Amino acid sequence: MEALINILTISIPVVAVSWLLPERWQMLPVVVATALFLAWVSPLSLMVLAVTTLISYYTIKVYPSLTSAVLIVIIQITAIFLFFKLELGLKGALLKEAIIPLGLSYYSFRQIHYAIEAYKKQLPQHTILDFISYLFFLPTILIGPINRFQPFLKDLKRRRWDSTLFSLGLERILYGLAKITVIGNWILVFKFNNFIRSIRLDYPWLADYLNVVKYVSNAYIQFAGYSDVAIGLSMLLGFKITENFNYPFLATNIADFWRRWHISLSNWCRDYVFYPFLGMTRNGVISIIMSMLVLGAWHEISMRYLLWGAMHAVAISVWHKYEGKAIHRKLSQFPLVQKGLGIFITLHFVLFSFVLIMEENIWESIELYKRLLFI
């Protein structure tokens, strides 16, 4: 929350100065403010981002073989990502402390996306300044979304002062902040938590169940709120950034859930893990498992997140198998029942899976599973 307030405070002069400057200098205050913000809260992150940005751009630009250049960039970014994420995963078990560069997960995936698009020759003409503007973009540096380079560049070239977009941006920031402070921090974390505590002695099972509901809904509200602020801030600067959530708890099946929850990350995994693996192996199940494992590892490289990813992979595979069965076709004759049942089952599977990541370690999660399943 503190970092978000800092970003918002910095953004007020940045947005004003940006629109007052001549067109070719308009991104300069945004890039400088991002660098200063990172230097202030996470100097390590600034160093990693600056070095990888230059290496990624110039390797692809200058290196004679495009395939080797792209491979160098991907290996470089993946190695840095794995190093810090493994450090985080080992925290508690082997290490006392782990320092993770702020926003690493987002900008490393953006750079891998850039490298793969360069390999596919899908990148339009651009300069190093465009690439720096893309990676040093204050609204999305902290908590995403993992926006793509091509739409960003399009907005960068075409953006003009638009009062409607500006007011929509302000509205979006207000909604985002209201989600975080009122619904998330006040209603869910404080009020709902107190209610759960008050019933724990009399109804222990219900308290455990509601605790999982609280964790998942708070995770959604906080993340969706932060995304709203990021999208709103981008609008203030004239950029339309990709949406990250679309009512995920109304998903009627688990594949639908991943089209609605953290959309930018699941689309990234679909495009850069699922499709390449499908092309190589011609096996949908293996491709789903690989992409969900990457999705889990993106959060943290630890047993609980890998299991969480694997659990979702199994569920998506089961759903795809079920889709072809006669019972699914039969149930389709009752669309309302199918939809209601779909939402109920999907939501409860999601709640069930989040138990794995809501506790400090896997053993505590197992204890909670035992209590929830009356074992």
Residue 82: exposed, middle, or buried by beta-carbon count in 10 A (0-12, 13-18, 19+)?
middle
User: Does the footprint of other proteins cover residue 181 (CB under 8 A)?
Assistant: yes
Of 90, 99, 178, 341, the one binding other proteins (CB under 8 A) is 178
- Give the nearer residue to other proteins in terms of CB position, either 189 or 285: 189
CB of 17 to other proteins, least distance (A): 24
Instruction: Compute CA 75 distance to the chain's CA centroid, rounded to the nearest angstrom.
Output: 21
User: How far apart (Å, rounded) are the C-alpha atoms in residues 30 and 39?
Assistant: 14
Stretch that binds other proteins, among 118-126, 149-157, 170-178, 345-353 (CB under 8 A): 170-178
User: How far apart (Å, rounded) are the C-alpha atoms in residues 45 and 141?
Assistant: 10
Of 166, 175, 192, 215, the one binding other proteins (CB under 8 A) is 175
Residue 330: exposed, middle, or buried by beta-carbon count in 10 A (0-12, 13-18, 19+)?
exposed
Of 17, 19, 130, 185, the one binding other proteins (CB under 8 A) is 185
Of 174, 206, 318, 337, the one binding other proteins (CB under 8 A) is 174
CB of 97 to other proteins, least distance (A): 16
- Give the nearer residue to other proteins in terms of CB position, either 189 or 278: 189
Of 102, 143, 153, 177, the one binding other proteins (CB under 8 A) is 177
Binding mask 189-208 for other proteins (x = CB under 8 A): xx------------------
User: Does the footprint of other proteins cover residue 231 (CB under 8 A)?
Assistant: no
User: Does the footprint of other proteins cover residue 1 (CB under 8 A)?
Assistant: yes
Instruction: Compute CA 153 distance to the chain's CA centroid, rounded to the nearest angstrom.
Output: 21
CB of 95 to other proteins, least distance (A): 20
User: Does the footprint of other proteins cover residue 246 (CB under 8 A)?
Assistant: no
- Give the nearer residue to other proteins in terms of CB position, either 185 or 217: 185
The residues of the shown chain that bind other proteins, judged by CB under 8 A, are 1-2, 5, 171, 174-175, 177-178, 181-182, 185-186, 189-190
